[in-house]
Amino acid sequence: MDSRLFYLDRVIFFSLMSFAVFSLFSISLTQISCGIGGLAWMTKCSLEGTWKEQLFPFKIPFLLFVVACLIAVAGAVDFQGSYKSLKRLLEILIFFWAVNCIKSEEQRDKLILLFIASATLSTLNGFYSAWQTGLNSASRVEGTMSVYMTYAGLLMLALLVTLGKIIFDRKGSLWLWGAVALIGFCLLLTYTRQAWLGVMAGLVFLIWFRKKSLLWFLPVLMGLLFLISPPHIKFRMKSLLDYNDVNLSARIALWQGGWLVFKDHPLTGCGFKCIDAINHEYPDPTGWIKKLRGLHNNFVQLAVDTGLFGLGSWLSIWVLYFMTLYKRRVSFENNPRLKSCVMGSSAAVFGFLAAGMFETNFYDAEVSMALYFIMALPFTCSQNLTDVRT
């Protein structure tokens, strides 16, 4: 083996490991990891001449989404404020990088466990901050992230990946149960309801495909969780069912404002961050649009920013993702390690989409980067899933 290729392989896998570890701690180190790993991957492919052998699942919907974003920016009402967001499209490369550079089940399992371990360790920082400030919704746990919603989104993804491994791979390590307890409790301390909703949706997804009859025990589990939760968390849980909740009212006002903007730019949108530039041109009786500007819903935000073209292509990515895994479920039925990976990844994606009904988590770089990485896991070790070039 060419020594250059040997060292490139080392660099690639080390960068994948550092990506998995740093995802819960630092966006800068995470970006550096995927930047170094991506360059090493491209260099290796160029040296070997193996570009034609690389796998690019869902390349058509991804490409359509990129084109939709470019068109939206080209016709943006505020080009200067919009074009900078295009750099976020580079995050898509994380998906293809992981798909092509994770070569074995052992590597994939090691990366999954590193990601879970990193999330578990990150909770220690969260518990320490909660111990300093006390348990109250005014001091939400945010780990080392700048915003508690970002941290909650990452914990949500990690928790669902962990639950997938526990539920579908009975040979999983016992420490994973401890990881679930620590990550779950820390997630509660973020007081972030959309992340709680995402976990609930992902858990329902996992139980549905594991044993549907167990869904009857879910209300009991939720009831017990409510009873043992601190008062401030109980209050946040109760507010999930309160239609007069101020946060829900604010979101409804934002969505209504977004609808008005969308009607004026239905096909290709008005460009990224266009709400900042044109919110004063639309009625805003509640004042929430001017104050928040972000629309707190992935679907509404993308419809406004990129129009039906962008929203449709973005939705096609997830539709094709779930359809592909469902059609190929037979190929991993007798492989618990692969099945736990597929189900954990799918649950995390499902939870992300559910949480995105009440938050623009797709625009959160830390969360979307981790999402692309998790999304790629079922398509690594391509001998397990055939025909993933589409």
Give the type of residue at 324.
T
Per the structure block, which two tokens stand in for 328? 């190929």
Closest by Cα among 234, 309, 221 to 266: 309
The confidence score (pLDDT) of residue 241 equals 66
Alpha helices, DSSP H, located in 229-364: 231-239, 246-264, 274-278, 288-292, 298-327, 336-355
Contacts made by residues 55-59, CB under 8 angstroms, sequence distance 24+: 55/96, 55/99, 55/100, 55/379, 55/382, 55/388, 55/389, 56/96, 56/99, 56/389, 57/95, 57/99, 57/324, 57/379, 57/388, 57/389, 57/390, 58/317, 58/320, 58/321, 58/324, 58/390, 59/390
In this structure, how many other beta carbons lie within 10 angstroms of the beta carbon of residue 349? 23
Residue 384 has pLDDT above 80, yes or no: no
Q: Tell me what the pLDDT averaged over the chain comes to.
A: 89
Per the structure block, which two tokens stand in for 379? 């398509």
Residue 386 has pLDDT above 50, yes or no: no
**d(C-alpha 285, C-alpha 272), whole Å:** 24
The confidence score (pLDDT) of residue 324 equals 94
67-88 pLDDT, tens digit each: 999 999 999 998 998 999 999 9
Please state the rounded mean pLDDT for residues 12-30.
96
Helix or strand holding residue 174 (H, E): none
Output 15 or 252, whichever has higher pLDDT: 15
The CA–CA distances, whole Å, from 173 to 109, 130, 155, 163 equal 12, 28, 19, 12
Estimate to the nearest angstrom the gap between the alpha carbon of 25 and the chain centroid.
15
110-166 pLDDT, tens digit each: 999 999 999 999 999 888 888 887 766 667 888 888 889 999 999 999 999 999 999
| pLDDT classification of 315: cutoffs 50, 70, 90 | very high
DSSP string, 336-349: HHHHHHHHHHHHHH
175-194 pLDDT, tens digit each: 999 999 999 999 999 989 99
Closest by Cα among 378, 323, 390, 385 to 98: 378
Per the structure block, which two tokens stand in for 290? 């001017």
Residue 387 has pLDDT above 60, yes or no: no
| pLDDT classification of 6: cutoffs 50, 70, 90 | confident
Per the structure block, which two tokens stand in for 264? 């004026």
Least confident of 107-111, 335-339, 341-345: 335-339
Task: Let me know: does 61 contact 316? Beta carbons within 8 Å.
Answer: yes
Task: Let me know: does 229 contact 265? Beta carbons within 8 Å.
Answer: no
The CA–CA distances, whole Å, from 301 to 78, 86, 95, 197 equal 16, 15, 23, 19
| pLDDT classification of 385: cutoffs 50, 70, 90 | low
Q: Identify the DSSP state of 135.
A: S
> Structure pTM?
0.93
The confidence score (pLDDT) of residue 181 equals 94
